[in-house]
């Protein structure tokens, strides 16, 4: 239902550390109307320009804290609220080139009352301007 809102139009940028471009980041929302505890985010899958990103190269950040996807499994004291924009960082040496990029995101979430684990997907073209 909210799948076309999970990737935010703004926020695509390269990420640097100690003068080196180590990857890129973008903003994303949760597609679930109630928000969820972070341990219930089972997986995030990112595909950039047709290349699937390895799970261990994806980070999620909210309100100044950042986690790997494996670390999210045991985060019981924080949540991702509906409408809140999280920063998804992808470790990729050199980052992205300036210009248009095809970004795909899939969020696999554990919803307590559902007998299955839903996966919400969205793909869009975003422009990296700097």
76-118 pLDDT, tens digit per residue, is 999 999 889 999 999 999 999 999 999 999 998 877 776 766 6
Query: Is 74 a domain residue?
Result: yes
Query: Is 129 a domain residue?
Result: no
Report percent pLDDT > 70 for the chain.
92
Query: Is 94 a domain residue?
Result: yes
Q: What is the pTM of this model?
A: 0.89
**Residue 113, Cβ neighbours under 10 Å: how many?**
4
Helix extents (H) in the chain: 69-72
Domain of 14, in residue numbers: 3-122
**Residue 99, Cβ neighbours under 10 Å: how many?**
8
**Residue 69, Cβ neighbours under 10 Å: how many?**
17
Give the least confident one: 5-14, 51-60, 72-81: 5-14
Query: Is 130 a domain residue?
Result: no
Helix (H, G, I), strand (E, B) or coil at 108: strand
Number of folded domains that form the chain = 1
Contact predicate 24/88, CB 8 Å: no
- Would you state the pLDDT for residue 1? 45
Query: Is 128 a domain residue?
Result: no
């Amino acid at each position: 239902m909210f799948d076309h809102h999970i990737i935010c139009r703004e926020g695509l940028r390269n990420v640097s550390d100690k003068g080196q471009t180590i990857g890129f980041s973008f903003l994303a929302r949760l597609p679930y109307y109630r928000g969820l505890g972070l341990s219930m985010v089972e997986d995030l899958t990112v595909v950039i320009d047709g290349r699937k990103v390895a799970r261990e190269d994806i980070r999620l950040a909210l309100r100044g804290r950042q986690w790997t996807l494996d670390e999210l499994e045991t985060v019981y004291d924080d949540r991702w609220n509906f409408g809140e924009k999280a920063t998804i960082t992808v470790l990729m040496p050199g980052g992205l080139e300036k210009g248009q990029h095809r970004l795909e995101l899939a969020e696999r979430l554990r919803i307590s009352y559902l007998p299955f684990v839903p996966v919400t997907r969205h793909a869009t073209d975003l422009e990296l301007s700097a």
